Amino acid sequence: MSEPQGSKLIRTLLDFDRFTADDVRAILNTTDVMAQVLERPVKKVPALQGFTVATLFYEDSTRTRLSFERAARAQSADVMTFSKGGSSVSKGESLRDTVATLEALAVDAFVVRHPSAGAAHQVASWTDKAVINAGDGRRAHPTQALLDVATYERSVDAPVEGRKLVIVGDVAHSRVARSNAALWRLLGADVTVCGPPTLMPQHGGLPEGVTVETRLDRALDGAHAVMALRLQQERMHEARFASPAAYAEQYQITEARLAGAQDDVKVLHPGPMNRGVEIDGRLADGPQSLVTQQVAMGLPVRMAVLYHLLVGKGGSA
C-alpha cells in the first residue's frame, strides 16, 4: 500500500472547517487504494493491527455503524461497540464518562454519532485520541460527504471541481447537505440547495458561495449531480409543508425534471429512500442513479479515514 503524502497528522474528522483541498485529496487517494484492497480475494490488510476503534452511537444507525466497524476490522483493528439501547450507553452514563472509561481501556479512535450538534467536538476536547464525527445533529456528517464525492468522481472519472451539485430537500435539518455543501465547495464545485422555503437554511448557515433556490427547475439547470435528501415525514407536523404528496408535486426528482441538467447528470441519495416522495423510484433504479455505488463506497472511505487518523500523515505539509 502506498504511503499518503505530507507530514501533518490530522487527529480528528469533525467537519471540514480546518481541512484544505489537499487534506481531502489525500484521503480520497487512499480511498482508491482501499477500494482495490476490497477487490482482492482476502479483503483484509494489517494496517491498523494493534489499534482499537470504539463506535459510540447515541442514535440508531446500524448501517453507518457496521460500515465503520467493518472498515476497522478490514484493517485488522479491534472494535468496541457502544450503541443506544446497548449495555453501556443506556443507564444514564454521560458521554464524558463513557469516553473516560474507553480511554482507560486503551481505545485509539472514537467514532461518534449523536443527536446533539457538537457532541464529537466535545469528545475531541476530552481526549487526545482520534475522533471521527459519524453525524452530530444537523451539523455535519463528513464521511457521508467524502463517499458522495468519491462515488461521483469515480462514476464520471473526473474531479468535482467546476461541476454543479444541486442538493434538494430538507437542507435546514440535514447534516448530509451541510457536509456535502462544505466539501464540494472546498474542492471547487458550484453548489445550489433547493427546497421549500420552510426547509431552507436561514441566517446564512451554509458555506460561502452556496446558492439557495426554491424553484426546482431553476436549481437543476445545468446540474452535473443532483442529491435528493430523505424527507422526514414528521416535518409535516412541524408545519413545514402540507403533505408528502404536495412536497413531491414540487420537489420530487424525476427523469423529466432533469431535462435542464447536463446530459450525464448523476443522481445521489444518502438513503434510506422514500420512493415516490423525494425521488421517483424508476430514476433511483435507472442508469443515472449512483445510489448502490454510494452504499459500496462507504467502506473504502471509512477505511481511508481511519487509516489517516490513526497512522497516516494525511494532508499537505
Stretch that binds another protein, among 113-121, 188-196, 218-226, 279-287 (CB under 8 A): 113-121
Q: Does 116 bind another protein (CB under 8 A)?
A: yes
233 binds another protein (CB under 8 A): no
At residue 39, the 3 state secondary structure works out as: coil
CA 139 to chain centre: 11
When asked if residue 121 is in the footprint of another protein (CB under 8 A), the reply is yes
Q: Which stretch binds another protein (CB under 8 A): 43-51, 116-124, 242-250, 269-277?
A: 116-124
Q: Which of 113, 175, 230, 257 binds another protein (CB under 8 A)?
A: 175
- Beta-carbon contacts of 140 under 8 Å, excluding residues fewer than 6 positions away, are 14, 15, 16, 117, 133, 175, 178, 179, 182
142 in Cβ contact with 133 (< 8 Å): yes
Q: How far apart are the first and last CA of the chain?
A: 21
Q: Which span sits near another protein by CB under 8 A: 32-40, 195-203, 247-255, 290-298?
A: 195-203
Q: Which residues pair with 225 in a beta bridge?
A: 165, 266
With CB under 8 A as the rule, give the number of residues binding another protein: 24
Can residue 117 be called a binding residue for another protein (CB under 8 A)? yes
In terms of CB distance, is 95 or 231 closer to another protein? 95
Tell me the C-alpha distance between 61 and 5, whole Å. Answer: 33
CA–CA distances in Å: residue 99 to residues 89, 215, 273: 11, 45, 33
User: Among 105, 203, 208, 317, which residue interacts with another protein (rule: CB under 8 A)?
Assistant: 203
Does 138 participate in binding another protein (rule CB under 8 A)? yes
Site residues (vs another protein, CB under 8 A)? 94-96, 114-119, 121-122, 125, 136-140, 175, 178, 201-205
